[in-house]
Structure 1
Amino acid sequence: MRRHTSRADRARTRAGRAGRTRARAAATTVAVFALGASLLLPQGPAAAAPTAGTGPLAAPAADATDHCQGQCADILPPGANGNATLADILGNKLFGTFPAHASDQLARYDSLVAGRSGLTDAKITDFFNDASFGVPSGQVESVTSPREDVTITRDKKTGVPHIKGTTRYGTEFGAGYAAGQDRLWMMDLFRHIGRGELTSFAGGALANQGLEQQFWPSAPYTEAEYEAQVERIRTTGGERGELAMADAQAYVDGINSYRQKSKDGRYFPGEYVLTGKIDSITNVGEIEPFKLTDLISIASVVGGQFGGGGGGEVQAALSLLAAQQKYGVVKGTEVWESFRQRDDPEAVLTVHDGTAFPYARKPANPRGTALPDAGSVQAEPLVYDRTGSAVTRAEAPVGVPEGIEPLRGIFDDGAVQDGALSARKGMSNALLVSGQHTASGNPVAVFGPQTGYFAPQLMMLQELQGPGISARGVAFAGVGMYVQMGRGQDYAWSATSAQQDITDTYAVELCEPGGGTPTKASTAYLYRSVCTPMEKMERKNAWKPTTADSTAAGSYRLQVWRTKYGMVTHRATVGGKPVAYTSLRSTYRHEADSIIGFQMLNDPGYVKDAASFQQAAHRIGYAFNWFYADSRTAAYFNSGLNPVRAAGVDASLPVKAEQAYEWQGFDPAANTASYTPFAQHPQSVGQDYYISWNNRQAEEYDAAGFGYGAVHRADLLDDRVEALVAKGGVTRASLARAMADAAVTDLRGEQVLPTLLKVIRSATVTDPALNTVVQQLESWRATGSRRMETKQGSHTYTDAAAVRIMDAWWPRLVEAQYKQGLGSGLYEALTASLQTDESPASSHGPTGAHSGSSFQYGWWGYVDKDLRQVLGDPVLAPAPVTYCGDGSLSACRETLLSTLKTAAAVPVKEVYPGDENCSAGDQWCTDSIIHRTLGGISHPKISWQNRPTYQQVVEFPSHR
């Protein structure tokens, strides 16, 4: 067990380490910049592409050399096969059977929870797939050749498609064909989600309504605008842009080839029958052909969900106003800033060598901030003209075959309320150690994206080998022309959601074109002093009863007002004048521009080292942290179209929609602006180690939103990896064990409970029953604060009582500690910006129940820092107000004890009230991960673990 040091001590340790390594890091950075400048490479996401001869159009290479030499592994549960015929679905529902390779990675993924302590390098493939290139002859399950210039070979163990083409077109055609084989139904769903047409396609279940309402408003494009994005990439992206669209067209051609063959051969996904698209007897019906614009639609969903950042400025303004009302403007602003924590010195950082990358900083003298008048804010309505089941949900299933449970929308019912896909992003993690601290002298990496648990998964595994392409890994289905995270011949890469601020809120002043008096309902606004009508973007959806859900016929209309400053989200008054608040993100109208960066990452003629990797990642416009490892170097780069804001603008709050406060170089027609250059993005090469779990990137680089302070989920990784590095001799297995141990650890128990216990033990606990409760918590903390079974399959936690007490105590503790001091208004406003808890048992978090991902959003850092202020312990950047017990240790201690006593008495069935998947009181089941159904196949529950969905374990012993 590791010792628990104070936040301030840890911050000082990090600062000392930064000072010791700064000189080495600076020298490395200069060398990398010099090498990057020597490459014929664009220095910004919109710059011209390299000329011929730098990689993309090079002649086909010989068979790819695999420099991983058996030391690369990966996994993506539940299985590679995501398509199921109607007969497969019936078999799954009636008899629990699965199509081949639909669920064969789930048990190995689950088994790491119990098996992590015995993990060695030799046993890695007990828990992961061998991610070597190709398929040994004795392991070939099938070979398909949809064209003479490509083969799709699948292995017996996992069924992953290994696509090898002799031409570029054939390679990409094969990628599309394999995507159709594995994800045809899911791709169809997601192209309709992006267009806001899911209910018309798949039925009016609440989950379907919620998904189109969630995603379409942020990207409400017309078909002509989809086509314009395709053309923009083709015409402005240089040679690489033309190549990308040619690759995309070949990919679409491959999808359509499989689509037609499966329809004609009657082995298409059975969901088309269940949703009434195809008659199971006559085969009458159609699967609509795919087109290039569908890829833009899918990209808008994927990129918006996992690669966005910023927003939420209206709610931030409301909490600021509440703080100012409570404490006055000056002190209220100080209090609000203490919760906003823009640059908390105790926060865990990915770049910890002391290098600063100033971005979205709080200005000394803010200009153009547009705070609403108190009580004036109204959310903009989205849904209109409801009829039928859009008004009142139908309860009885309609036309469901006997013995078959309805699909209940593309997700199980409740996905909307649970937030299966939500506006809050994150979840992925990365652990990398540089070669000077490993047993082999080569860097070691354990990393992957956490994209939720779905059946089938949003991503699919594939290997692509062809002219200018050599990679294995995952891609989001429907945009899988290239591997998006995975490995090349002698390097591997992965990403985590970065969430830096690339979305701003503008207050557009409303007007009436005829010169009348504007109101909050006005639909025109001042754009550079001209009264300009808003654009009304609409989707009209109607649905009929289907065998795929339990809803009756219904319809509604989605409506969004669009301005040159983005989509209207709220209306209010500012200084008495009516305004509309709009949301503008830098990647709007550029949903697929990042395709060029992914093309580079797959090109062995381009990515040859850390410097070229970083430049490729820079071509990706979405907000991601990118990590790289080869046999020589571990490296990091933060991507994103970071707009250059006008001087004095505070990116954390709404801004007046006036030219003086616009993004520099802003052109609303194409939604382009000036972006921060390569050198200003957080980056590093050769740091002792890197960790990321959606934490802050570097000093002075503001993470958009609340909660990046003294305690963060990334501390679970940072503590463990720092200890491994200090010891030396890190291996793939030891780094994977560190990840797996963090994955079963309760953040509150490891990072905050020691401080809570210190307050409680500042005097004797005289109540014997309460003292026993405290001892249970102490024992849990001493053994690692884990949430895991006594043994695999027992479905009973080792420290069940302590876990239950913490789950019951935390929300009561936070409210008692803060609500009285802050007052109800400010407390509620702050909890609207950042929820207090996201434990696995919490079903109200951004990722919802049974999602795996936990502890990203919560008040753990606030609680820990406040308690240390009460104790008089060292605190860097203390809050201006101490809340627990109004700063009195004895009063604070009484608050903790009284809430703990109440929590201990809460019956287990109230702590874990149960849901459609779990009985009340079932602790393990409440925590468990459930793969939400995107179609007709469902899978067993697995034990909770806070871990990436797709994960790699890699170490390259050699290099080209």
Structure 2
Amino acid sequence: MRRRTGRHTGRIRTACATLVLATALLAPLPQAAAEEPAPVADHCLNQGQSQCADILPPGQNGNATLADILAHRVFGTRPGHSSDQLGRYGSLVGGYGGLTDAKLTEFFNDASFGVQAGQAESVTSPRPDVTITRDRKTGVPHIKGTTRYGTEFGAGYAAAQDRLWMMDLFRHIGRGELTSFAGGALANQGMEQQFWPQAPYTEADYEAQIARIRSTEGARGEQAMADAQAYVDGINAYRQQSKDGRYFPGEYVLTGHIDSITNAGEIQPFRLTDLIVIASVVGGQFGGGGGGEVQAALSLLAAQQKYGVVEGTRVWESFRQRNDPEAVLTVHDGSSFPYAQKPANPRGTALPDPGSVRPEQLVYDRTGSAVTGAKAPVRAPANLRPAQGMYDDGVLPPGALDPKRGMSNALLVSGAHTASGHPVAVFGPQTGYFAPQLLMLQELQGPGISARGVAFAGVGMYVQMGRGQDYAWSATSAAQDITDTYAVELCHDDTHYLYRGTCTAMEKLEKRNSWKPTVADGTAAGSYRMQVWRTKYGIVTHRATVAGKPVAYTSLRSTYRHEADSIIGFQMLNDPSYVRDASSFQQAVHHIDYAFNWFYADSRTTAYYNSGMNPVRASGIDPALPVKAEQPYEWQGFDPAANTAAYTPFAQHPRSSGQDYYISWNNRQAADYNTAGFGFGSVHRGDLLDDRVAKLVADGGVTRASLTRAMAEAGLTDLRGEQLLPELLRILRSSPVTDPRLNTAIQQLDSWRAAGSQRKETSPGSHTYGHADAVRIMDAWWPLLVEAEFRPGLGDDLYRSLTASIAVDESPAAHHGPAGGHSGSAFQYGWWGFTDKDLRQVLGEQVGGPLAKTYCGGGQLTACRDALLTTLGQAVARPATEVYPGDDTCGAGDQWCADALVHRPLGGITHPAVHWQNRPTYQQVVEFPSHRP
């Protein structure tokens, strides 16, 4: 592992001296004596033992004072509860094989309600009507209020205790003001450029969302906004107390907002609109779906240019795989839920003229640069070197929150197939690996609220995924299409367009940012301006011509201007009087507008529901491609004033109760329910779960431990090795392999396949993979074999265009996508299904939903084999130092480290890398033995 050098003895002495001063100045207020409020009903207990568990690495505590940060840099210490869940999370890799129900708490937290007698670490009462009790083992806040206001105030207060700095970051990210707040590093610029154009709201837009909830959601809407205001009040109470007491997060000093000596400066108060900002970031990141129609159109045009319109369209559709009959489904009982299907006779499609598309410019008037420059005089400790990896490239790496990234998964088995006769669930969301985590654990108990689980920091009025008194729920990101691209015809100039026959001015929205040098990132002063144009059909993303006429392509998302509306559904999920069974659960999540797959388990049944504001499109519209911005092609009932339309009703959303089992790993939901984008074909990482859970169900007697083992095993398995390697080996061995070097490689790959195709250490802590050579060969071979298989037949232009729509590879070690490596998620997007179908076509097998043509070797087995052998030889020759080139975390050639999970610092505390797992960030293991009457 490469380490930065240059921390000299003199710097350490200076930092140590500063540490003594900072410790004295920033000492936290004393806590009250530990007492535990009376417990509430908990139906997860079985003879006094909890059957609910959860885990959220690295730890609950996400705030660090300046003294904490200095101590971490000098001595390697970390604040309490900032890293105490990382070891248990990471150790499941070596421990899942011998897992039993009794051993689950070695790898997960006890997720019971309340804190056991004698296990309270602290109890605080920021108001007389609420107590916040933190347990000794994890420091999770158990918030109990005697009034509704007090409960929500306590939730905000506890959130600020654990995530104040992060919440401040995200309200600035959402407003497109991160550089002005945290410095002008390129990564910070990238973050605000990624998120602000998706929701470039004015303050009036934020206020309008609040007013809409109050005016359209009745009593629940009023209560939601009252809860949100109490939550904000709690945040502000801690914000002011920590500032006055000088135990606020040290990052405020490092970014120049507060003077470390005089305490001059301010942490800006939080407002209700800040919660809407954060909700916009979270909803846009994890609950969106669709878009990408311009790139889809470009790949379609490339196919038509090569093959002609009719045949090119047929070829393109075979790669688009809108409703592939071989795709793994969450609802597999034969139910059909038609949505976003290809019309027999499309109308209104607006394909660009070839060569006319250009992306809309976002950044203007840039001055300065995000490189090390002279630092302005900031009152921070002398010679302080910030935490490695945090500020050198900005607060967040570019694309760290990649909207096409996620590995949330769910495994549920009905009671008919479990050992106890009660359903078992192992499920959780994947929100990436950050320090501190984007999510935070909490328990809320108060009038009308009873839940434990996680919420995104800054919008934690309610538990968003977790458990109630006798039920648990979770979600995975769905991919149904709730975003469309419209081609608006321009008139007069580039900033006016036709809206229902009238030439209408676009709305210009700007964000001007400037930054000064800070101790945190060491960048030179600079500034720039972001600019977007907003139309009644959404935000302009591209310019082009269609049939010779100039147009602007716009992106219109159904949840635009409605990111906060989903608060009603979350309120219902936390209300024990509302959710009492699977049916009421489905009704609750129907009120959540984001595109999510929702899962439920209680002692009697399991259930599933796909939420989202699915717009009802005009007849004949092809949602996979851009559409003319004309009234006949608009969403039905479309009103641009508040971006409202007609939406598909409850009955048309994929849903199910009591199915033998459910799995989800961001795969297709149900038959005829078309997902947005490419890659939902015959091989998907959902197959890794489906195959294992189906076998458990067939054998019967499923337990929490056995279902967890299935999840863990799938999370260490290379999809290519399990699903594609058998076909590759059949072709390679269709004739004798005479080259000894290639024959050895084939034997290594086959031995790895026979052993389970895992990317796993030989023993815990060895940092060396079993079958390491086979893993290296596959990592090097896959992109080479895919190109050799498809590019000759598709041609350069079409191959490039299709790979722009869906990347070829997403192995753990590949620094794929804008987020780079170490992000955990793997095998979500790739050419797995295309390769599978093509190879089976070469082998002469029956293929459902085949590709329009056979590509490998032009469809000839011998030629295909030759191409595979050639690329295999190239892969074998590539040394590990080239396959795993190294980065700021790993040295070149370090295979284990190239895969490893790295918690990207959002503050001054860092954590060690841990073994790769393709696994949710937060995860629950639940089995309820009883239910309320």
Bin of the TM-score, shorter chain as denominator length: over 0.9
Distance in structure 2 (CA, Å) of the matches to 1:825 and 1:423:
26
Aligned to 2:849: 877
What letter corresponds to residue 66 of structure 1 in structure 2? D
- Give TM-score scaled by structure 1 length: 0.92
User: Equivalent residues in 2 for 1:771-850 (5 A)?
Assistant: 771-845=743-817, 847-850=819-822
What letter corresponds to residue 866 of structure 2 in structure 1? E
Aligned to 1:347: 327
User: Equivalent residues in 2 for 1:319-398 (5 A)?
Assistant: 319-389=299-369, 393-394=371-372
User: Equivalent residues in 2 for 1:107-122 (5 A)?
Assistant: 107-122=87-102
- TM-superposed CA distance for 1:846, in Å, is 5.5
User: Equivalent residues in 2 for 1:481-492 (5 A)?
Assistant: 481-492=461-472
Name the SS of the counterpart of 1:143 in structure 2: strand
Aligned to 2:18: none
Contact (CA 8 Å) 2:174, 2:278: kept in 1 or not?
yes
Distance in structure 1 (CA, Å) of the matches to 2:754 and 2:387:
45
Aligned to 2:823: 851
Is 2:605 aligned against 1:633? yes
Distance in structure 2 (CA, Å) of the matches to 1:402 and 1:889:
68
Is 2:669 aligned against 1:697? yes
- TM-superposed CA distance for 1:409, in Å, is 8.7
Aligned to 1:166: 146
Aligned to 1:261: 241
Distance in structure 1 (CA, Å) of the matches to 2:740 and 2:238:
70
What letter corresponds to residue 213 of structure 1 in structure 2? Q
1:858-899 Cα offsets, whole Å, 9 max, x none, are: 001111110000000121111111000000000000111110
1:757-777 Cα offsets, whole Å, 9 max, x none, are: 011111111111110100000
Aligned to 1:280: 260
Aligned to 2:509: 537
Aligned to 1:64: 40
The correspondence for 1:655, drawn from 627, 630, 655, is: 627
User: Equivalent residues in 2 for 1:20-99 (5 A)?
Assistant: 64-69=40-45, 70-99=50-79
User: Equivalent residues in 2 for 1:326-725 (5 A)?
Assistant: 326-389=306-369, 393-394=371-372, 404-406=384-386, 413=393, 419-512=399-492, 518=493, 522-725=494-697
- TM-superposed CA distance for 1:207, in Å, is 1.1
1:86-109 Cα offsets, whole Å, 9 max, x none, are: 000111111110100000000000
Name the SS of the counterpart of 1:560 in structure 2: strand
Contact (CA 8 Å) 2:566, 2:591: kept in 1 or not?
yes
Distance in structure 1 (CA, Å) of the matches to 2:373 and 2:891:
22
Give structure 1 stretches of 5+ with no counterpart. Answer: 1-60, 513-517
Greater shift, 523-532 or 406-415, is seen at 406-415
Name the SS of the counterpart of 1:137 in structure 2: coil
Contact (CA 8 Å) 1:208, 1:409: kept in 2 or not?
no
Distance in structure 1 (CA, Å) of the matches to 2:700 and 2:53:
23
Distance in structure 2 (CA, Å) of the matches to 1:123 and 1:404:
44
Distance in structure 1 (CA, Å) of the matches to 2:387 and 2:561:
34
Is 2:281 aligned against 1:309? no
Percent identity at matched positions?
78
The correspondence for 1:145, drawn from 125, 129, 137, is: 125
Aligned to 1:908: 880
Aligned to 2:917: 945
Aligned to 1:24: none
1:323-382 Cα offsets, whole Å, 9 max, x none, are: 000110011001100110000001000000010000000000000000000000000000
Distance in structure 2 (CA, Å) of the matches to 1:323 and 1:409:
43
Distance in structure 1 (CA, Å) of the matches to 2:535 and 2:889:
43
User: Equivalent residues in 2 for 1:743-754 (5 A)?
Assistant: 743-754=715-726
Distance 1:395 1:800, change over 3 A: farther
- TM-superposed CA distance for 1:845, in Å, is 2.8
1:289-313 Cα offsets, whole Å, 9 max, x none, are: 0000000000000000000000000
Aligned residue pair count? 890
Distance 1:638 1:541, change over 3 A: same
What letter corresponds to residue 189 of structure 1 in structure 2? L
Is 2:762 aligned against 1:762? no
Aligned to 1:235: 215
Give structure 2 stretches of 5+ with no counterpart. Answer: 1-36
Contact (CA 8 Å) 1:67, 1:958: kept in 2 or not?
yes
Contact (CA 8 Å) 1:204, 1:409: kept in 2 or not?
no
- TM-superposed CA distance for 1:194, in Å, is 0.4
- Give TM-score scaled by structure 2 length: 0.94
Distance in structure 1 (CA, Å) of the matches to 2:396 and 2:123:
40
Contact (CA 8 Å) 1:425, 1:497: kept in 2 or not?
no
1:132-172 Cα offsets, whole Å, 9 max, x none, are: 00001210000000000000000000000000000000000
Distance in structure 2 (CA, Å) of the matches to 1:502 and 1:594:
15
Is 2:893 aligned against 1:931? no
1:53-95 Cα offsets, whole Å, 9 max, x none, are: xxxxxxxx99521000000000000000000000001111111
Distance in structure 1 (CA, Å) of the matches to 2:210 and 2:73:
41
Name the SS of the counterpart of 1:267 in structure 2: coil
Aligned to 2:5: none
Distance 1:418 1:729, change over 3 A: farther
What letter corresponds to residue 725 of structure 2 in structure 1? L
- TM-superposed CA distance for 1:485, in Å, is 0.1
Distance in structure 2 (CA, Å) of the matches to 1:403 and 1:749:
50
- TM-superposed CA distance for 1:416, in Å, is 7.3
Contact (CA 8 Å) 1:196, 1:539: kept in 2 or not?
yes
Distance in structure 1 (CA, Å) of the matches to 2:330 and 2:385:
46
Contact (CA 8 Å) 2:406, 2:432: kept in 1 or not?
no
- TM-superposed CA distance for 1:397, in Å, is 7.5
1:259-294 Cα offsets, whole Å, 9 max, x none, are: 000000000000000000000100000000000000
Distance in structure 1 (CA, Å) of the matches to 2:846 and 2:385:
58
Contact (CA 8 Å) 1:203, 1:409: kept in 2 or not?
no
What letter corresponds to residue 156 of structure 1 in structure 2? R
What letter corresponds to residue 139 of structure 2 in structure 1? G
Distance in structure 2 (CA, Å) of the matches to 1:681 and 1:430:
18
Is 2:246 aligned against 1:246? no
Distance 1:576 1:407, change over 3 A: farther
Contact (CA 8 Å) 1:636, 1:683: kept in 2 or not?
yes
Contact (CA 8 Å) 1:426, 1:498: kept in 2 or not?
no
What letter corresponds to residue 64 of structure 1 in structure 2? V
- TM-superposed CA distance for 1:414, in Å, is 8.5
The correspondence for 2:178, drawn from 198, 207, 232, is: 198
Aligned to 2:115: 135
Distance in structure 1 (CA, Å) of the matches to 2:763 and 2:603:
38
Aligned to 1:7: none
Distance in structure 1 (CA, Å) of the matches to 2:204 and 2:329:
43
What letter corresponds to residue 95 of structure 1 in structure 2? F
Name the SS of the counterpart of 2:163 in structure 1: helix
Say what the alpha-carbon RMSD is for the aligned residues: 1.4
